[in-house]
Homo-oligomer: A and B are copies of this chain.
């Protein structure tokens, strides 16, 4: 007899994105695969300074156990930032610090999903969310989605005809993987519908501050009058992912449940990481830092899109994201992006095939390209090589 695992383990497998990060370690690889920030933008000296301040000023506190909810001065700064960046009126007591926003995804499924419950999401959507949710054995259902976000009539149709819809997962700003942003009208229509059905909504927003053109659009949470929206934020893209610090913002009765979940799951977030990020925000100007990131990524996005326009065959289409980290490419329908990838990897270029962003697979003619992580010359060189591969296959 062998050790018996729980039934949920049957659903679990490795994430293609995480495997892709391993791929990028291959020397010489030009990788558009991961959603990695540009490491040259990390404020290393500033974080070193913050670390020295924290350890000099309160080292024994930083290294000790602390509360589950998180370090209060950091919760305060996040509450202020939620107002400034996302028009969300909140208080520190409605913020729980998590290990990146991925932990917020796991906790959300843990709180809202029994086996067989239905979770709705945009089509396509972030595969890491599926991986988090799968552990709780829900059913996944795609809501038809276009350039402007989830299509309200389609959402309503599903809610009218589907039992046990317990959670809706969305990324309204610069979506992963498509780079799309929901229009204001769509947001309003969406909120009207969910208010009617009282369904909790997970608004995943790791990229919201990374807008390169146009005006920012109010978050769903900022329009939330019934406490149905749970906002997930993160320092991973505006500061650095290596600290694993994100947050959940939710109505008090819901947040209290998240706090219990956090206690059981890992007691508390890292005291020292929280204090270092908090001290960084006191010593330095995070807004100015984000502005620098925006400039760099905006230029890289432009360069990638321009090069794609020039180098890709005309039958290949792609999105023009106004922010975030990704563009979404559609090859002619008969093509298989996984097969194309094999050719590309031969020439040291990598990306993520789009099928991975649909829990039922299909859409194998799509792929996701990241433009934040590679330098300008690598972007040009990588897209040229990809263009060559595509032209060769398609001719």
- Contact surface of A with B, Cβ cutoff 8 Å: 1-9, 12-15, 18, 21-22, 34, 36-37, 39-40, 42, 44-45, 47-48, 51-52, 55-56, 59-68, 98-100, 102-103, 106, 110-115, 117, 128, 131-132, 134-136, 166, 198, 200, 227-228, 236, 240-244, 254, 257, 259-261, 263-273
B244-A111 in contact (CB<8A): no
Note all chain B residues with C-beta closer than 8 A to A21: 65-67
For A260, give the chain B residue with the smallest CB separation.
B12
Note all chain B residues with C-beta closer than 8 A to A110: 6, 8, 135
C-alpha gap A268/B265 in the complex (Å): 14
For A43, give the chain B residue with the smallest CB separation.
B63
**Complex partner residue of A55 from B47, B64, B273, CB under 8 angstroms:** B47
A263-B15 in contact (CB<8A): yes
Contacts known (A135-B261, A270-B270, A273-B273); A68 close to B18, Cβ less than 8 A: yes
Q: How far is the CB of A72 from chain B (nearest CB, A)?
A: 11
A42-B60 in contact (CB<8A): yes
> Can you list 12 A-B contacts with CB-CB less than 8 angstroms, sorted by A residue number?
A2-B198, A3-B198, A5-B257, A6-B110, A8-B110, A12-B261, A48-B51, A63-B243, A102-B266, A110-B135, A132-B265, A265-B265
A7-B114 in contact (CB<8A): yes
For A35, give the chain B residue with the smallest CB separation.
B65
A271-B242 in contact (CB<8A): yes
A260-B64 in contact (CB<8A): no
The 7 A-B pairs of least Cβ separation, nearest first, read A44-B59, A242-B271, A63-B240, A39-B60, A48-B55, A63-B242, A99-B266
B111-A6 in contact (CB<8A): yes
Note all chain B residues with C-beta closer than 8 A to A103: 265-266
Note all chain B residues with C-beta closer than 8 A to A2: 198
B48-A56 in contact (CB<8A): yes
For A68, give the chain B residue with the smallest CB separation.
B18
Known: A22-B67, A51-B52. 15 other contacts (CB 8 A): A1-B198, A3-B112, A4-B166, A6-B111, A12-B260, A12-B261, A18-B267, A48-B51, A98-B266, A100-B267, A106-B266, A131-B264, A132-B265, A135-B261, A244-B266
B22-A263 in contact (CB<8A): no
Note all chain B residues with C-beta closer than 8 A to A131: 263-264
Note all chain B residues with C-beta closer than 8 A to A59: 42, 44-45, 47-48
**Complex partner residue of A136 from B6, B39, B270, CB under 8 angstroms:** B6
